[in-house]
């Protein structure tokens, strides 16, 4: 059984210093996974890329590759050891796919899954603004093109699955390299997308899609005042869905600071 650790790379991403320090980029683990399919019960995780900023500011990516399907457990054990050094992880649509998949596959291997304290999902943060930013779609490659990124990688997730099964049959290094490059680039530019999110959220001229209505906003402010809720939240920037869920939670007395934060972060 062999797990390969490869392509630990350094990249100068030209991240704005104010943004870098404000969000403590050195404390964040950026990640993405490749699997053999969408079924968490029967499919396997075969590749994970984990990006982090080193003390010198360079961005480094470590990759975990399963040489065979039976290597998944060992891959997950080592990944868990590395991710345990962080409190925050960052992904693109990882709340819906990557994190639940990792959780299920760890459980299937008898590994205790411990979620990080905070999951920053850039897809959920940018989705309410992508049309206003002039993008037709909100998938990762479209957002990358919007900020001027041209990938060396030319495949997609579906092709990655096919390449992996071809690799299992042939052990051709070229097939593995194509997969590694694809997953590597899925992580490489996440910090720059995070910076786009930061700039967008702080641009008063950009209004999110399906923004909270004036009626909802007035009612929420009244509820916060009556229930002595004091949380540093810009209610004017939340979505209609988040506003509706907040109102219901407060009226039903089913809330605390964590609940309110989760509603706002997970409703888009």
For residues 129-155, give the mean pLDDT: 92
165 lies in some domain:
yes
Residues 166 and 62 in one domain: yes
Least confident of 10-14, 51-55, 136-140, 249-253: 10-14
Residues 172 and 230 in one domain: no
pTM of the predicted model as reported, rounded to 2 decimal places: 0.83
Residues 154 and 256 in one domain: no
User: What is the span of the domain harbouring residue 246?
Assistant: 214-266
Residues 111 and 165 in one domain: yes
Instruction: Please report, rounded to a whole number, the percentage of residues in the chain having pLDDT higher than 90.
Output: 58
Residues 226 and 130 in one domain: no
Whether residue 8 has pLDDT greater than 80: no
pLDDT band at 22 (very low <50, low <70, confident <90, very high): confident
- Could you read off the pLDDT of 100-132 as tens digits, one per residue? 999 999 999 999 998 898 999 999 999 989 998
> For residue 197, what is the domain's CATH number?
3.30.420.10
Last residue of a domain, one of 201, 230, 255: 201
Residues 65 and 92 in one domain: yes
207 lies in some domain:
no
Residues 30 and 97 in one domain: yes
Residues 17 and 110 in one domain: yes
Least confident of 1-10, 99-108, 202-211: 1-10
Question: How many domains would you assign to the chain?
Answer: 2
Q: For residue 71, give the nearest of 5, 7, 155 by alpha carbon.
A: 5
Q: How far apart are CA 237 and CA 208, in angstroms?
A: 7
Residues 168 and 100 in one domain: yes
pLDDT at residue 1 in the model: 42
Residues 121 and 245 in one domain: no
For residues 41-64, give the mean pLDDT: 91
Angle at 91 between CA 134 and CA 145, to 5 degrees: 30
Last residue of a domain, one of 201, 231, 249: 201
Mean residue pLDDT across the chain: 88
For residues 183-196, give the mean pLDDT: 94
Residues 113 and 230 in one domain: no
pLDDT at residue 14 in the model: 67
For residues 61-72, give the mean pLDDT: 94
pLDDT at residue 63 in the model: 93
pLDDT at residue 267 in the model: 66
pLDDT at residue 234 in the model: 79
Highest mean pLDDT among 130-134, 140-144, 149-153: 140-144
Q: For residue 126, give the nearest of 35, 206, 216, 72 by alpha carbon.
A: 206
Residues 141 and 233 in one domain: no
pLDDT at residue 77 in the model: 95
Give residue for tokens 């509706």. 244
208 lies in some domain:
no
Q: Is 29 exposed, middle or buried (0-12, 13-18, 19+ CB in 10 A)?
A: buried
């Amino acid at each position: 059984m062999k797990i390969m650790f490869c392509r630990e790379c350094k990249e100068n991403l030209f991240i704005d210093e104010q943004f870098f320090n404000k969000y403590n980029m050195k404390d964040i683990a950026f990640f993405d996974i490749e699997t053999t399919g969408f079924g968490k019960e029967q499919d396997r995780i075969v590749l994970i890329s984990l990006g982090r900023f080193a003390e010198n500011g360079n961005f480094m990516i470590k990759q975990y590759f399963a040489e065979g399907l039976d290597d998944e457990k060992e891959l997950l054990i080592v990944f868990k050891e590395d991710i345990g050094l962080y409190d925050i992880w960052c992904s693109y649509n990882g709340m819906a796919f990557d994190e639940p998949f990792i959780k299920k596959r760890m459980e299937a291997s008898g590994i205790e899954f411990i979620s990080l304290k905070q999951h920053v999902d850039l897809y959920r943060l940018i989705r309410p603004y992508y049309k206003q930013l002039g993008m037709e779609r909100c998938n990762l490659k479209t957002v990358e093109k919007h900020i001027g990124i041209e990938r060396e990688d030319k495949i997609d997730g579906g092709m990655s699955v096919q390449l992996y099964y071809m690799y299992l049959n042939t052990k051709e290094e070229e097939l593995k390299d194509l997969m590694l490059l694809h997953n590597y680039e899925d992580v490489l530019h996440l910090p720059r997308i995070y910076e786009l999110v930061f700039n967008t959220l702080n641009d008063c001229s950009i209004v999110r899609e399906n923004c909270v209505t004036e009626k909802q906003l007035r009612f929420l402010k009244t509820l916060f005042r009556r229930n002595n809720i004091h949380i540093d939240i810009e209610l004017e920037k939340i979505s209609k869905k988040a506003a509706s869920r907040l109102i219901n939670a407060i009226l039903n007395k089913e809330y605390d600071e964590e609940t309110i934060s989760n509603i706002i972060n997970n409703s888009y």
